[in-house]
Amino acid sequence: MVRWVAAVAVITLTAGCSLLVGQEPAQRTVTLVAHDSFVVDPRLLAEFEQRSGIHVEVRTSGDAGELANKLVLSKAAPLGDVAYGVDSTFASRTLREGVFAPYRAADADQGPHRYAQDRQNRLTAVDVADVCVNIDTEWFAAHRMPEPATLRDLTEPRYRGLTAVPDPTTSSPGLAFLLGTVAAFGDPGWQQYWRELAANDVKLSSGWEEVYNQDFSAAAEHGPRPIVLSYASSPAAEVGDDGKPRTKALLDTCYRQVEYAGVLAGAKDPQGAGQLVDFLLSREFQRQAPEQMYVYPAVDGVPLPPNWSASAPLPPRPAELPASEVERNRDRWVQQWRTLVRG
């Protein structure tokens, strides 16, 4: 009798605990660890779950840099089976630390191979997000001024006091912009460029949020500056009621960030993890990625949403730096930038 009571008590208590923790489905679960910006069309995910019999649990973990560092710190007991969102700025660090296991995705040779980081295929490119200077086209029309086109233009006296960018030490697009200037002007040529940019009264803020929402004249709060750093895809979000974009990305100022997915070393279900990586490269996922996450598909031949070809085309010649070079020099460049611009 006592044993029965004890058994019932234990069962009730465990049921109580699982209620608290949330009902875990009995089926196979694969956990995807992603950065904060990961969004997927819920119907598409449900279809994948139905087809594969795998329940996908998504856990987000900060921005790209934070995610990479968390993966490194927890590599002995990984947070999940698959990670998505480590980008080309932080890829080397995770590879050096052995965070990912080799996995060759079915469609890896359909475009993602161009961004491969190592021969073991530990990271598979899922999408690209180009950081570019954006301008308020209406502002330039209203002020009868020619639009700037290149990074060099931003140091011209006529664009003095018109540009706002996020701080590379506190913002990941800001860091991408710094890397873009290194790619464009070389090392140490970028330092002279930044001296001129600072002399031309560039406004620095701690994050993209302040730059875009508060400084940018084309955003909701009508800031004072018509030139800001954002993404190639941002104009797609700023289409007016007439269907025309109010802003434009300057395609000659872009720096490419590739976002990767990979199977985590020590994953509980490596096979299911592989299936999930394949899903991220599937045409269905790739096709909805632009509208959901403001990124461009990595797989070839996936059409962009209709209004994107006019408002937010993929930059044809973005600047890039090899991930290993970034890993080697990042901290030094950031430190030099700080001394140079902040004094």
Partner 1 sequence: MSPHNRLAVPAAASVVLGFLGLFFAWPVAAIIGMGLHGNVGEVLAEASTWRLVAFTLGQAAASTAVALIAGVPLAYVLARSLIPGRAVLRAVVTVPFVLPTIVVGMAFRALFDVDSGAVLPIVLANAFFNVAVVARTVSGLWSHLDRRAEDAARSLGASKLRAFTSVTLPALLPALGSAAAVVFLFCATSFGVVLVLGGGQYRTLETEIYLRTVQLLDLPGAAALSLLQLAAVVTALLAASFARRRRETALRLRSAAGTARRPQGAQWLVVGAAGLVVCGLLAPIAGLLVRSVSTRDGWGLAGYRALLGTGQQGTLEVTGLEAGLNSVRTAVDATWMALLLGLLASFVLVAVRRRALAESLDVVLMVPLGVSAVTVGFGYLITLHLLPGDLRTSPLLVPFAQALVVTPLVIRMVLPVLRSIDDRLRQAAATLGAGPWRVHREVDVPLAARSVLGAAGFGFVVALGEFGATSFLARPDAPTLPVAIGRLLGRPGELNTQMAYAACTLLMIVTVLAVVLVERLRIRTDAVEEF
Considering the rule CB under 8 A, would residue 196 count as an interface residue with partner 1? no
Does 191 bind partner 1 (CB under 8 A)? Our answer is no
Q: Which of 84, 71, 81 is nearest to 292 (CA)?
A: 84
Distance CA 261, CA 60 (A): 13
284 contributes a contact to partner 1 by CB under 8 A: no
Of 207 and 313, the one with the shorter C-beta distance to partner 1 is 207
CA–CA dist 338, 238 (Å, integer): 33
Q: Does 21 bind partner 1 (CB under 8 A)?
A: yes
Find the shortest distance in angstroms from Cβ 16 to partner 1: 13
The correct pick among 47, 109, 156, 209 for binding partner 1 (CB under 8 A) is: 209
Q: Kindly state the smallest distance separating residue 321's Cβ from partner 1, in Å.
A: 18
Beta-carbon contacts of residue 47 (< 8 Å; ≥ 6 apart): 284
Number of chain residues interacting with partner 1 (CB under 8 A): 53
Q: Assign residue 192 a region: left if phi > 0, alpha if psi is -120 to 50, beta otherwise?
A: alpha
Cis peptide before 188 (omega within 30 of 0): yes
Closest CA to 125 of 258, 294, 283: 258
* 149 forms part of the interface with partner 1 (CB under 8 A): no
- Does 248 contact partner 1 by CB under 8 A? no
Backbone angles phi, psi at 83, to 5 degrees: -120, 140
Q: Does 47 bind partner 1 (CB under 8 A)?
A: no
Distance CA 327, CA 3 (A): 61
C-beta of 137 vs 234, nearer to partner 1? 234
CB 103 within 8 A of CB 122: yes
Measured from the CB atom, the residue of 58 and 149 that comes closer to partner 1 is 58
Does 313 bind partner 1 (CB under 8 A)? Our answer is no
Longest dimension (CA), the chain: 90
Q: Considering the rule CB under 8 A, would residue 20 count as an interface residue with partner 1?
A: yes
Closer of 108 and 330 to partner 1 (Cβ): 330
CB-wise, 112 or 315, nearer to partner 1? 315
Which position among 110, 213, 307, 329 is part of the footprint of partner 1 (CB under 8 A)? 213
Phi, psi of 301 (to 5 degrees): 75, 10
Minimum CB separation of residue 2 from partner 1 in Å reads 25
Amino acid at 229: L
One DSSP character per residue, 296-332 reads EESSTTPPPPTTHHHHSPPPSS-B---HHHHHHHHHH
Q: Is 270 in the site for partner 1 (CB under 8 A)?
A: no
Q: Kindly indicate which of the ranges 4-12, 73-81, 100-108, 315-323 contains the residues binding partner 1, using the contact rule CB under 8 A.
A: 73-81
| Residue ranges binding partner 1 (CB under 8 A) | 17, 20-22, 31, 34, 36-39, 41-42, 58-60, 62, 65-66, 69-70, 72-74, 77, 79, 93, 167, 169-170, 203-210, 212-214, 219-221, 230-231, 234, 237-238, 291-292, 294, 331, 342
